[in-house]
Structure 1
Amino acid sequence: MEPLSVDGKFFRSGGRRFDVRAVTYGPFPGGWPDDFAADFERIVAAGFNALRLYEMPDRRLLDAALAHGLRVFGGLRWPQAVDFLKDDRVLSAAQVSLAESLRALEGHRALAGVFVANEVPADLVRWMGPVQVRQALEGLIALGKELRPDLLWCYGNYPSTEYLEPENADFTAFNVYLESETAFRSYLRRLHHIAGDRPVLISEFGLDSQRNGTAKQAEILAWAIRIAREEGMAGMTVYAWSDRWWNAGIEVLDWDFGLIDRESREKPALAAVRGAWRDHGWQMVDGRFSVIVCTRNGASRIAACVAALEKQTLPAHEIIVVDDGSTDGTTELVAARFPKVRLLTLEPGGLSAARNAGAEAATGEILAYTDDDCEADEGWLAGLAGAFAKGWDAAGGPNLPPRPQTDAEAIVTAASGAPSHVMLDDAEAEHLPGCNISVLRTAYFDIGGFDPQFTTAGDDVDFCWRLRDKGYRLGFAPTAFVWHHRRPSLRGFLRQQIGYGKAEALLIAKHPQRFTAAGDAKWDGFVYSGGPVRAVEGSIIYFGRMGQAGYQGVTDRMQPLRPLDARFDDFISHQRLNLLEWLQPRLRSWYRCQHWTGRSTNHHRPAPRPDTEFPIWSPDGETRDDFLQQLLTAGWKAGGESDAWDVEKDGTRLLLATERGDGIGKRTLVRVWGDARLLPFGRH
């Protein structure tokens, strides 16, 4: 059993792509069974290849899993449903527990990864501070990676804390419970953007058969597995193996999410899941792609680019390399090493002219463009074909930077200014970078192709704008990615940014209505920069009325940047990155419109300190929702949907959060800005 690793938007093991098919297992009343063999044989027979636990496994469980070919994702157990930032001992104990668990399991091949936490309650995240909670989770992940860099690390997130993605997680894991096919599919598309460059694992999905019936449970699990595959999830986790469940110190008897019942009898859902794993679902669509790569003096890059194109799971109709006046032997190299490639040799005329020449020579129904410094993932064309099957006129996917090998590459990868897609929603794009864009042949020639005045950059922006002006629609294919090598030096990166600025000057002259007076592009959509969407200082978060929205997220217009690679995350690299971040927008602005202006800064104003805080203990299990209802009845008014408080009255504001532990009793935390004597309840 080879270790799992991240491969762009997917996982890989032993040189092959690995689709995680997991089921949650335990905790059970009475603890682990004496013998795992019976369960694990049934789990494997149902098509699963992985288990997700809510505690760290012992060697006995891992040995049994290894014997049955099952990978295990452990879960770190600690008091995450309390204010764990108030008392340093809580996180310290979690760190000790993690270290001890990993030491006991050192070297075991069945352990694939670890969830450092699962669904920190949204009200407590708001109470402690989203940035502070995220940083605490990142601290646990950093410790885990230091101790076991061979494992994959993540946080089990959910829609109520969508903004809580750890910067240093290896993949994005989300627990999603949606009973509508349309809503489920739509949210999975959103998760690709939340994750940025990372794979997405659905870490929980299930249905309570006690309330919905066993037939409905079976039906929903079957279509959920199918949709997860169609939407490019790196894995899917069914919740749960058994109806037997132990939580908060008691056996849970009022819901049944299991594939087997409390007497270990098979429910219809188990057969449905077994069939869903066997069904490969959608048929591959042959779009007759003509792949076009334009190059100039790309002898050091072109071989890797073309080799990747020849390994596509959906073979191209033809591969066309357009040599735009190379003098370094590029033409001879391509002709000698790739005899099946159509080679066009031109006098130097610029990138747009070369792209147009490739289109004129192409015979396919779809023209797919990538650059000579890109290596397309093996599923690139298959992902694009899936997008065109949905009716888009043009389509493209992410361009991901390969793992940096030097400090300069790491800094450039983390800097702003890289080619980015711009999204109008979770499926339709406003802009797709030229290193990963494909278009129907008919649409291409209808708008007249690329504008030859754009010789090095800006051509893709102009092209996308003209497509949309003609009524054509651009779709985003999240798994159709290319590995796009960034500039290997800081000097080369800054030269690239100067080139972008010059291209933007041409865009301003051609499309003045699409720019502000200061020379900034006016995008209607959301700019994605590769990093996971997460709360940072100054982020505006949509919490919903009194923090009760089921889906809560950051409302910023730009995705955070990629983090600095941990291997190069030191003081000097940060200083060089800061210098690059200062220079990049100013150089680009100067060559765009002769203004030496930088990026606008969001000046974060910290929230005022509260006047008092106190807890309320309820032996009957009353929570913040009960107390908020009392306050509303007493004339308090709900705050705004992005406010840091729940209710207000006569200038006094309150925030409430409920801690959750074993047993019925609950403790609710109350934060007061103003006069606490206005409250209809007091501390007790």
Structure 2
Amino acid sequence: MTECTPAVSIVVCTRDRVSSLIARLPSIVDAASASSRDTEIIVVDNGSVDGTTKEVARRFPTVLLVHEGAPGISIARNTGVRAAKAPVILFTDDDVEVPLDWVNRLSAPLIAGAAEIVVGGISVDESLRRTWMSPWLLQNFAHYPEQQSVDPGVVGANFGALKTVLLEIPFDERLGAAPYQRHEDGFFGVQARERGFRIVGVAGDPVVHHFDPSRLQRSAIHALAARAGRGSGYIWYHWAYGVAPHLFVKSVVFRLTRIATLPWLRRHQSDRDLKLVAKIAFIDELRRIEGSPRNYPAPSVRLADPPSP
């Protein structure tokens, strides 16, 4: 990497996961060094108290450290976007290992003008896969080894975009923090798609997701499904202007349906049970926010005069 203005910026956000970050950051540094394009690496420390700043500064002196005290992955990513000097920004997570050609491969369509947003494959590390995990559940841990080439969903562990797009469509800072701890990346893709930006899947070796094994515990998976439901409720209400009658009745019905399946008798929760957990959280969130002001203009207003990409 040189002192000139970089062609590519890499943004990694972290909060109190210094061990994971230190273990995975070398692969990002290697990919940046192997790139044919001048590349900077930005680590956004999202209020860590575990010594993240000290360790990154000591071990990786070429990495730019940016501090963001307000908690939330969307807030941290937006901070990273503002700090980035390059016109192309790539994102990955602090528990992800990237292949050596990652920077060149993921940035190529953006630099060539073939896309405004790119998404690469993500593979859950084999040591974290369990025989009882369904394909659907694996996807909830960001397991997408191969992305469709046209219009894939945006997944935060492996995607990139033009800085101009990221400034035009900042990550919704209500998502990515309690109580909406999921869907901030996918919702960015939804907004970009509506505005006509091209989202392209990039083939090649996926990045590898090394999440904390504690996330495989029953209670953690239950919480994962509930967070998905709450986030979906937020988007459905505020962006899609969804209206659902009889929310209380639906909440009761979904709860009774779940009880009838006797989920506590099984060692591992089924897809059906987890989807019911998400539905219950979705309905409960709609009940909580029903009648509150919407955070976005109505679809009819947005679509009547959409911004040009």
Pairing partner for 1:383 from 84, 92, 105 = 105
Shift of 1:493: 2.7
User: Is 1:504 equivalent to 2:232 in the alignment?
Assistant: yes
Q: Work out whether residues 399 and 436 of structure 1, in 8 Å CA contact, stay in contact via their aligned partners in 2.
A: yes
User: Is 1:482 equivalent to 2:204 in the alignment?
Assistant: no
Pairing partner for 1:399 from 104, 122, 138 = 122
Query: 1:450 maps to what in 2?
Result: 171
User: Is 1:371 equivalent to 2:93 in the alignment?
Assistant: yes
Pairing partner for 1:290 from 2, 5, 9 = 9
CA deviation profile, 1:185-217 (whole Å, cap 9, x unmatched) = xxxxxxxxxxxxxxxxxxxxxxxxxxxxxxxxx
CA deviation profile, 1:599-658 (whole Å, cap 9, x unmatched) = xxxxxxxxxxxxxxxxxxxxxxxxxxxxxxxxxxxxxxxxxxxxxxxxxxxxxxxxxxxx
Q: Work out whether residues 497 and 587 of structure 1, in 8 Å CA contact, stay in contact via their aligned partners in 2.
A: yes
Q: Work out whether residues 383 and 480 of structure 1, in 8 Å CA contact, stay in contact via their aligned partners in 2.
A: no
Query: 1:301 maps to what in 2?
Result: 20
User: Is 1:588 equivalent to 2:309 in the alignment?
Assistant: no
The 1:429/1:288 distance shift into structure 2, 3 A limit, reads same
Shift of 1:485: 2.4
Q: Work out whether residues 11 and 42 of structure 2, in 8 Å CA contact, stay in contact via their aligned partners in 1.
A: yes
The 1:377/1:493 distance shift into structure 2, 3 A limit, reads farther
CA deviation profile, 1:36-64 (whole Å, cap 9, x unmatched) = xxxxxxxxxxxxxxxxxxxxxxxxxxxxx
Q: Work out whether residues 124 and 141 of structure 2, in 8 Å CA contact, stay in contact via their aligned partners in 1.
A: no
Q: Work out whether residues 320 and 342 of structure 1, in 8 Å CA contact, stay in contact via their aligned partners in 2.
A: yes
Name the CA distance, whole Å, in 1 between partners of 2:245 and 2:59: 50
Name the CA distance, whole Å, in 1 between partners of 2:99 and 2:81: 22
Q: Work out whether residues 401 and 413 of structure 1, in 8 Å CA contact, stay in contact via their aligned partners in 2.
A: no
Name the CA distance, whole Å, in 2 between partners of 1:493 and 1:461: 19
Name the CA distance, whole Å, in 2 between partners of 1:418 and 1:518: 32
Pairing partner for 2:192 from 463, 467, 479 = 467
Q: Work out whether residues 368 and 438 of structure 1, in 8 Å CA contact, stay in contact via their aligned partners in 2.
A: yes
SS of the residue 1:368 aligns to: strand
Query: 2:306 maps to what in 1?
Result: none
Report matched runs for 1:410-449 at 5 Å: 411-412=132-133, 414=135, 416=137, 417-419=140-142, 426-447=148-169, 449=170
Q: Work out whether residues 320 and 358 of structure 1, in 8 Å CA contact, stay in contact via their aligned partners in 2.
A: yes
| AA aligned opposite 2:171 | F
The 1:584/1:367 distance shift into structure 2, 3 A limit, reads same
SS of the residue 2:18 aligns to: coil
| AA aligned opposite 2:90 | A
CA deviation profile, 1:353-397 (whole Å, cap 9, x unmatched) = 100000000001111111111111222112213332361111011
Name the CA distance, whole Å, in 1 between partners of 2:27 and 2:225: 27
Q: Work out whether residues 291 and 316 of structure 1, in 8 Å CA contact, stay in contact via their aligned partners in 2.
A: no
Report matched runs for 1:118-267 at 5 Å: none
Query: 1:493 maps to what in 2?
Result: 221
| AA aligned opposite 2:283 | C
Shift of 1:415: 5.2
Name the CA distance, whole Å, in 2 between partners of 1:296 and 1:333: 13
Name the CA distance, whole Å, in 2 between partners of 1:585 and 1:515: 20
Shift of 1:507: 1.1
Shift of 1:512: 2.3
Query: 1:351 maps to what in 2?
Result: 73
Q: Work out whether residues 9 and 88 of structure 2, in 8 Å CA contact, stay in contact via their aligned partners in 1.
A: yes
The 1:377/1:494 distance shift into structure 2, 3 A limit, reads farther
CA deviation profile, 1:558-577 (whole Å, cap 9, x unmatched) = xxxxxxxxxxxxxxxxx645
Name the CA distance, whole Å, in 1 between partners of 2:49 and 2:244: 40
Name the CA distance, whole Å, in 1 between partners of 2:21 and 2:191: 29
CA deviation profile, 1:62-105 (whole Å, cap 9, x unmatched) = xxxxxxxxxxxxxxxxxxxxxxxxxxxxxxxxxxxxxxxxxxxx
CA deviation profile, 1:391-424 (whole Å, cap 9, x unmatched) = 111101111011125xx75545755233366x9x
SS of the residue 1:431 aligns to: coil
Shift of 1:593: 1.8
Shift of 1:434: 1.1
Structure 1 unaligned segments of length 5 or more: list them.
1-286, 520-574, 596-684
Query: 2:39 maps to what in 1?
Result: 317
Report matched runs for 1:522-671 at 5 Å: 576-577=267-268, 579-594=269-284
Shift of 1:494: 2.6
* Structure ID, larger Rg: 1
Shift of 1:478: 1.9
Q: Work out whether residues 117 and 199 of structure 2, in 8 Å CA contact, stay in contact via their aligned partners in 1.
A: yes
SS of the residue 2:126 aligns to: coil
The 1:392/1:457 distance shift into structure 2, 3 A limit, reads same
The 1:440/1:581 distance shift into structure 2, 3 A limit, reads same
CA deviation profile, 1:451-497 (whole Å, cap 9, x unmatched) = 11112321112211111122111000021521112451223333222
Name the CA distance, whole Å, in 1 between partners of 2:122 and 2:244: 27
Shift of 1:511: 2.1
Name the CA distance, whole Å, in 2 between partners of 1:493 and 1:504: 17
Structure 2 unaligned segments of length 5 or more: list them.
1-5, 248-265, 286-309
SS of the residue 1:321 aligns to: strand
SS of the residue 2:71 aligns to: coil
Name the count of aligned residue pairs.
Answer: 250
TM-score computed with the length of structure 2 as normaliser: 0.72
Q: Work out whether residues 384 and 480 of structure 1, in 8 Å CA contact, stay in contact via their aligned partners in 2.
A: no
Q: Work out whether residues 124 and 142 of structure 2, in 8 Å CA contact, stay in contact via their aligned partners in 1.
A: no
Q: Work out whether residues 412 and 490 of structure 1, in 8 Å CA contact, stay in contact via their aligned partners in 2.
A: no
Shift of 1:350: 0.9
TM-score computed with the length of structure 1 as normaliser: 0.34
Shift of 1:517: 8.5
Query: 1:562 maps to what in 2?
Result: none
Report matched runs for 1:72-87 at 5 Å: none
